């Protein structure tokens, strides 16, 4: 699945603009794994940034109906860098889109930032996508008619921030991903690795708390994938992010704090360094 249908009214910005959301890997609790200490507010452990219980999501109707997530449990803790691995088609993107408020579950509980997402208004969902969540996809989705710096400033301009503030923040992020010398270049003038760095900058410019990355290195060669992952790790730490990264690269996943494998109905703990 590469595209999630979203009602226009739900969009914080256009689909092409969501190419950059913001993230880090290996941490989180899935399946029936034991939970963190039972210090709770309104049903959500304080350390949990994401809590999914019995999450169900399918597509289509009748004979064409496909049940993808079938009662999934997953917790992602504050500050964790969690890698999600699993075979193609198992529902990794589906899960990320639910957590990223790009789609809605059919059933089950989903809490993010200690709030039941089913209680959020359309405006709140759009605002959270724009300000609290950062997304990076496999394909950078930078807008071709805008420079790198303009692309990175876009989420702040959409949020109504003054141009001066938006461009100052964009310039800082572009430098933070090592592309200061490319800031006036257009996406088609950048290499694949540079385009993904730009997408990371755009994802983080609004200072999100949670970074979601869906196979961010899937389109890169090994050296560029390694470099991008290092950048995600560095930004995860320096910007105090919670990150959830879907990846096919087991070697990269192993650099995260925790790795879980998605099977559709369950999440299996693969490794945890904590
Ligand atoms: P993954 O990211 O693990 O490869 P996805 O979440 O993209 O898997 O897709 C899981 C399953 O759901 C696949 O069988 C896919 O074909 C199906 N699917 C995804 N999105 C849609 C959709 N919008 N309509 C119908 N089926 C979909
Ligand atoms: Mg996918």
Torsion angle of the four alpha carbons 258, 264, 268, 272, in this order, in degrees rounded to the nearest 10: 0
pLDDT at 46: 54
- pLDDT tens for 96-119 read 999 999 999 999 999 999 999 999
User: Pocket of ligand 1, candidates 91, 246, 260, 267: which has the most ligand atoms within 8 Å of its Cβ, to mutate?
Assistant: 91
Shortest CA distance to 24 belongs to which of 1, 7, 49, 45?
A: 49
pTM: 0.84
- DSSP assignment of 113-161 equals TTEEGGG--HHHHHHHHHHTEEEE-SS----TTS-HHHHHHHHHHHTT-
Contacts (Cβ under 8 Å, ≥6 apart) of 234: none
Q: Specify the fold of 16-272.
A: Rossmann fold (3.40.50)
Q: Name the closest-CA residue to atom 13, ligand 1.
A: 89
**Segments in the chain below pLDDT 50:** 1-45
Q: Is 120 in the pocket of ligand 1 (CB under 6 A)?
A: no
Q: Is 32 in the pocket of ligand 1 (CB under 6 A)?
A: no
Q: Is 89 in the pocket of ligand 1 (CB under 6 A)?
A: yes
Residue 75 Cα to ligand 1 midpoint, Å, equals 22
Is the CB of residue 77 less than 8 Å from the CB of residue 242? yes
pLDDT at 248: 86
Is the CB of residue 139 less than 8 Å from the CB of residue 217? no
Residue 156 Cα to ligand 1 midpoint, Å, equals 31
Ligand 1: atom nearest CA of 58 is 12
Contacts (Cβ under 8 Å, ≥6 apart) of 186: 144, 145, 146, 147, 148
Q: Is 122 in the pocket of ligand 1 (CB under 6 A)?
A: no
Ligand index nearest the alpha carbon of residue 4: 1
30 DSSP β-pair partners: 74
Q: Give the length of the chain.
A: 274
Ligand 1: atom nearest CA of 214 is 2
pLDDT at 274: 64
DSSP 8-state code for residue 88: T
- pLDDT tens for 31-70 read 433 333 334 344 444 589 999 999 999 999 999 999 999 9
DSSP 8-state code for residue 172: H
Q: Name the closest-CA residue to atom 20, ligand 1.
A: 1
Shortest CA distance to 97 belongs to which of 60, 125, 119, 63?
A: 125
Q: Is 60 in the pocket of ligand 1 (CB under 6 A)?
A: yes
Q: How far is it, in rounded angstroms, from Cα 150 to Cα 228? A: 21
Q: Is 233 in the pocket of ligand 1 (CB under 6 A)?
A: no
Shortest CA distance to 131 belongs to which of 95, 159, 150, 162?
A: 159
pLDDT at 194: 96
Distances (CA, A) of 64 to 43, 107, 244: 36, 19, 30
Q: What is the CA radius of gyration of the chain?
A: 18
Q: Is 93 in the pocket of ligand 1 (CB under 6 A)?
A: yes
pLDDT at 140: 80
pLDDT at 113: 94
Is the CB of residue 49 less than 8 Å from the CB of residue 78? yes
Q: Where are the domains of the chain?
A: 16-272
């Amino acid at each position: 699945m590469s595209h999630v249908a979203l009602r226009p009214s739900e969009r914080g910005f256009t689909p092409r603009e969501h190419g950059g959301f913001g993230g880090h890997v290996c941490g989180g609790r899935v399946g029936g794994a034991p939970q963190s200490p039972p210090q709770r507010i309104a049903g959500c452990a304080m350390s949990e940034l994401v809590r999914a219980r019995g999450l169900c999501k399918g597509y289509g109707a009748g004979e064409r109906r496909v049940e993808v997530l079938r009662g999934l449990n997953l917790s992602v803790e504050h500050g964790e860098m969690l890698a999600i691995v699993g075979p193609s088609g198992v529902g990794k993107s589906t899960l990320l889109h639910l957590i990223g408020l790009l789609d809605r579950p059919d059933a089950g509980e989903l809490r993010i930032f200690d709030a039941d997402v089913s209680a959020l208004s359309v405006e709140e969902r759009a605002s959270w996508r724009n300000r609290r969540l950062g997304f990076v996809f496999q394909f950078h989705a930078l807008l071709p008619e805008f420079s790198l710096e303009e692309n990175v400033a876009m989420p702040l301009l959409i949020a109504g921030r003054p141009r001066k503030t938006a461009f100052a923040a964009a310039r800082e992020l572009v430098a933070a991903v090592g592309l200061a010398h490319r800031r006036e270049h257009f996406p088609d003038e950048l290499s694949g690795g540079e385009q993904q760095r730009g997408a990371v900058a755009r994802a983080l410019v609004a200072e999100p708390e949670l970074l979601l990355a869906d196979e961010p290195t899937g389109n890169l060669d090994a050296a560029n994938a390694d470099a991008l992952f290092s950048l995600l790790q560095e930004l995860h730490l320096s910007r105090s992010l919670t990150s959830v990264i879907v990846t096919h690269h087991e070697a990269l996943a192993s650099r995260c704090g925790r790795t879980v494998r998605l099977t559709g109905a369950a999440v299996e703990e693969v490794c945890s360094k904590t």
